[in-house]
Amino acid sequence: MKSIVFDAGPIISLATNSLLWLLENLKERYGGDFLIPKEVEFELVEKPIATKRFKLEALQVNREINKKVLAVVDEEKIQVIKKELLMLANTCFYAHNVPMKLVQEGEMAAIAAALIYNSDAIVIDERITRGLIENPEKLVEHMSSKLHTRIAVNKKNLQQLKNRIGHLKVIRSIELAMAGYEMGWFDKYLTKDKNARKILIEAILWGIKIRGASISQVEIDRIVRLEK
């Protein structure tokens, strides 16, 4: 069965924007499985359900799991590959001779699951992890500029990491939302304003950006011009 693996971030973005309903629609249209590893389930449900701030969102995500919209996978092989990827990713770059710990267990577990299941894509918003997959050289430039320091690269480890994960297709929560918009699933929110579609697109994009997705205003403006 074909599959797409989700990291916690995009699901959190959807949950905090009351957009979890998109997952069921998208899954039905996709015709495959939406997978989350056990570590991501912990971040989405078990950890926040013990708090006051995100308890409701945790319950809502748990409902999607109970409905089988999201399937939790917990294989020993995921743990093995996750640890290998964590070691590589967190020893690729050095600042002041100290290894930069860039990624967390949940993100690497999601990538490991995508590799094991030969998934069509991984849905992830975290900029650094996406950079490691899509363009690690550009990521180095970004981090060096942001930190105002020289970043040393362990080329051997970076090449190993690229060989293992560089082929993965990455999807962001923004792209999930815009897929839903293009399907007409957001039309129920249109007003009678002459600029109703522009308003709707901006509402979707800014809502997701403000609640954690990495997208610039330049990109938002570009999408608005293309979609309205």
Looking at the chain, the domain(s) classified CATH 3.40.50.1010 span 3-171
Q: Is the model's pLDDT at 212 over the cut of 80?
A: no
The pLDDT tens digits of the residues spanning 138-153 come to 998 988 888 889 999 9
Whole-number average pLDDT of the chain:
93
Q: Which pLDDT value is given to residue 228? A: 64
CB neighbour list of residue 49: distance below 8 Å, 6 or more residues apart: 55, 58, 59, 62
Q: For residue 5, give the nearest of 133, 129, 79, 109 by alpha carbon.
A: 109
Q: Taken in order 46, 50, 54, 56, is the CA torsion positive or negative? A: positive
What architecture does CATH give domain 3-171? 3-Layer(aba) Sandwich (3.40)
